[in-house]
């Protein structure tokens, strides 16, 4: 196998985004894929075009904005999303290829706007998400087959989304989850018991958690390398958020709604210096909602950014995108951890590097404290 040729265990299937009818399955090289909780995942690769027949197939199948991409590994679906870019490339010898990039299904919601005002009063936050998804998929041409369940979070919200703000649906869902007692969401790709390809909304309050038994990862061992960044540039222990500006009284100065000032007094008691932070929510007009955003933002900012990354040799420790939300137990012993780190973490992201000549298939896991 050439150094950049896709492993035979992987297969890229291109389908019509709306109907999911298969258009073609084309060879792909230089594959890279990742998936996350909390942000969009991506897939990229290069489709070689060795002759006129493949060129015709590629022209028909690789239509950015209306083609779905499913990546199979063996019998399992490992990734799914929307093809967004395709670039025809010719090298100095006249060899043609098409570089493609796709984003997970949630990226479609970054291309859909709310053109109507929607109001929810004391509605479970999961039902608000499903209502937004129903709005998207009930419009002509808007149904791309995203499914969902009936689970609830037990947290009721009041929300009014104005059509005059022209908000992106993706942003509305992200903001709804980014408050006290909020939630995480993603759209998972898998094959069900009947062999059907499924795009399913996954919700978790306050977090998405999967699996039961911890997976144990050791270094030295299956963990081939790791990175442990600690970043305090965004850390804060005092926070205030700005909301919508009230322009109803033309005689008075227009000022934005301001949240209550949130201060983590315990940090100051523990010896931390005062570190201030702020955030803007220009469409939030309710005091309680804005206060909830400020409290959630402060909680996130107090911890600083600590996202450990561990690289695994998949020939020794098989992993899959199903690990997202699962707990792993890390055991690391080296000069930095002479007494052995032994702690639980949750997998919030992963990237896969298929095998190449002389290099095994590998995975990189992105973790947060469990």
The 3 state secondary structure assigned to 153-192 is CCCEEEEEECHHHCCEHHHHHHHHHCCCCCCEEEEEEEEC
pLDDT of residue 252: 66
Tell the CATH topology of 112-204. Answer: Phage tail protein beta-alpha-beta fold (3.55.50)
Query: What are the DSSP calls for 207-240, one per residue?
Result: -----SSPEEEEETTTEEEEE---B-TT--SEEE
Quick check: bond before 220 cis, omega within 30? yes
Rounded to whole angstroms, how far apart are CA atoms 157 and 240?
Answer: 21
Q: Is 249's pLDDT higher than 90? A: no
Across all residues in the chain, what is the average pLDDT?
92
Rounded to whole angstroms, how far apart are CA atoms 108 and 84?
Answer: 10
Rounded to whole angstroms, how far apart are CA atoms 85 and 78?
Answer: 20
pLDDT of residue 306: 81
The CATH number given to 215-229+306-369 is 2.40.450
pLDDT of residue 7: 45
If you average pLDDT over residues 350-355, what whole number do you get? 90
Q: Is 173's pLDDT higher than 70? A: yes
DSSP three-state, residue 117: coil
**DSSP secondary structure code for residue 28 in this structure:** -
Indicate the pLDDT class of residue 303, thresholds 50, 70 and 90. Answer: confident
Give the tens place of pLDDT for each residue, 40-79: 999 999 999 999 999 999 999 999 999 999 999 888 899 9
pLDDT of residue 355: 82
User: Which of 36, 322, 367 has the alpha carbon at shortest distance from 227?
Assistant: 367
Q: Is 32's pLDDT higher than 80? A: yes
pLDDT of residue 1: 35
89 within 8 A of 65, measured Cβ to Cβ: no
Query: What are the DSSP calls for 323-343, one per residue?
Result: GTT-EEEEEE-SSS-TT-EEE
pLDDT of residue 315: 83
This prediction's pTM: 0.89
Q: Is 2's pLDDT higher than 50? A: no
Give the right CATH number for 10-107 from 2.30.300.10, 3.20.20.70, 3.40.50.261, 3.40.50.920.
Answer: 2.30.300.10
Q: Is 3's pLDDT higher than 60? A: no
Pair type for strands 67-73 and 118-124: unpaired
Rounded to whole angstroms, how far apart are CA atoms 34 and 363?
Answer: 9
């Amino acid at each position: 196998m050439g150094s950049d040729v896709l492993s035979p265990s992987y297969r890229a299937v291109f389908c019509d985004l709306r109907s999911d009818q298969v258009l073609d399955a084309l060879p792909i090289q230089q594959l890279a894929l990742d998936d996350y909780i909390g942000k969009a995942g991506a897939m990229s690769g290069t489709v070689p075009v060795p002759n006129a027949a493949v060129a015709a197939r590629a022209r028909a199948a690789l239509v950015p904005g209306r083609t779905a991409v499913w990546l199979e590994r063996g019998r399992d679906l490992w990734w799914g999303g929307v093809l967004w870019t395709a670039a025809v490339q010719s090298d100095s010898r006249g060899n043609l290829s098409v570089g493609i990039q796709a984003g997970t299904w949630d990226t479609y919601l970054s291309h859909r706007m709310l053109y109507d005002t929607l109001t929810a009063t004391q509605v479970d936050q999961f039902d608000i998400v499903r209502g937004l998804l129903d709005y998207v998929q009930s419009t002509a041409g808007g149904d791309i087959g995203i499914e969902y369940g009936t689970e609830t979070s037990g947290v009721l919200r009041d929300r009014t989304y104005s059509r005059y703000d022209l908000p992106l649906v993706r942003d509305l869902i992200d903001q709804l989850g980014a408050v006290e007692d909020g939630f995480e969401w993603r759209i998972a790709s898998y094959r069900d018991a009947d062999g059907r390809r499924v795009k399913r909304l996954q919700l978790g309050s306050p977090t998405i958690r999967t699996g039961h038994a911890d997976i144990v990862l050791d270094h030295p061992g299956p963990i081939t390398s790791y990175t442990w960044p600690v970043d305090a540039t965004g850390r804060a222990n005092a926070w205030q958020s700005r909301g919508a500006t009230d322009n109803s009284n033309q005689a008075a100065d227009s000022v934005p709604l301001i949240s209550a000032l949130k201060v983590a007094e315990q940090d100051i008691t523990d010896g931390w210096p005062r570190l201030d932070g702020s955030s803007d929510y220009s469409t939030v007009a309710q005091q309680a909602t804005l206060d909830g955003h400020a409290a959630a933002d402060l909680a996130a900012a107090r911890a600083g950014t600590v996202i450990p990354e561990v690289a695994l040799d998949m020939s020794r420790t098989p992993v899959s995108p199903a690990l997202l939300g699962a707990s792993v137990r890390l055991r690391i012993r080296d000069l930095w951890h002479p007494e052995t780190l032994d702690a639980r973490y949750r997998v919030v992201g992963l990237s896969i590097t298929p095998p190449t000549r002389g290099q095994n298939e590998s995975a990189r896991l992105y973790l947060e404290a469990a």
